[in-house]
Amino acid sequence: MSLNGLFDLTGRTAAIIGGGSGIGEAVATGAARHGADVVVLDANAGAASRVAGAIGGRATSASLDIRDGPAVHEALDAVARDRGRLDIVVCTPGINVRTPILKYDADDFDRVVNLNLKGSFNVLQAAGRTMTAQGSGSIVLFASIRALVVEPGQSVYAATKAGIVQLVRTAAVEFGKFGVRVNAVGPGVVETPLTEQIKADKDWYAAYANKSALGRWARAEEMVGPTLFLASDAASFVTGTVLFADGGWTAADGRFTPPGM
């Protein structure tokens, strides 16, 4: 394998789910700049259209709610049919309801699980069916540092993110013989619409920044490199793993710095 162009996605079709904002928008833009033909899928049709328009070229968009299994299958089948193949699928959507276990509402439980876990499963299954049939492809789901470490109020969100990791590992084993790779990105704290609640509280925002070894939050654009690495030939022997892009968050076991350090 040539070491030239390891990150070149020219001629590949990439469906970026959640591409209408935040990390998904950044990944969609980055994939296009590396040569991919991008399809932006998002529950917000207007946002998806805006991003595809900004990308230009062969980029297109469509509305997609990943909680709707048949719709996910139809959407990815349509991408493969219209573009001739489906090489890359990235799935970024997620929600969080920060509530202690003893106060967690059943409806909120269902909302978080249905989008984060069931939605990711729907994408994994639909992409897997198309890619295993064509004999190639890369699927990248989004986990989180919460798959490993938690804090009060994160129970259901953390459970879904840990579940995504296990889905990725199982799919990697099942799809590998067909030439399909499956991995996850595990972000730390990223400045996106999902974290607006934290950004609005100066102390909370600063505490998260200080927990990172780099002393700051990530920008959405900083998730593009890890994601496209996993999607590209640079990661041709990488499957069933989680790439934690967390600024060193999970490397430290606390926030206190001993005297003299």
Averaged over successive runs of 10 residues, the pLDDT of the chain (261 residues) comes to 82 98 97 98 98 97 98 98 97 95 97 98 98 98 96 96 98 98 97 82 90 94 98 98 96 71 58
**pLDDT for the residue numbered 196:** 80
Catalytic (active site) residue 205: no
**Residue 22 structural domain:** 13-192+221-245
How many Å apart are CA 119 and CA 94, to the nearest integer?
9
**pLDDT for the residue numbered 257:** 64
Q: What CATH number should be reported for the domain holding residue 109? A: 3.40.50.720
List the 13-17 sheet strands across, edge first. Answer: 60-63, 37-42, 13-17, 88-91, 137-142, 180-187, 242-245
Structure tokens at 103: 């106060």
Q: Is residue 103 assigned to a domain? A: yes
Q: Is residue 177 assigned to a domain? A: yes
Q: Is residue 234 assigned to a domain? A: yes
**pLDDT for the residue numbered 194:** 74
Domain count, the chain: 1
Q: Is residue 5 assigned to a domain? A: no
Q: Is residue 197 assigned to a domain? A: no
For the chain, how long is the longest CA-to-CA vector? 62
**pLDDT for the residue numbered 192:** 84
Q: Is residue 28 assigned to a domain? A: yes
| Catalytic residue (one of 104, 157, 205, 208) | 157
How many Å apart are CA 114 and CA 105, to the nearest integer?
14
Q: Is residue 162 assigned to a domain? A: yes
Q: Is residue 215 assigned to a domain? A: no
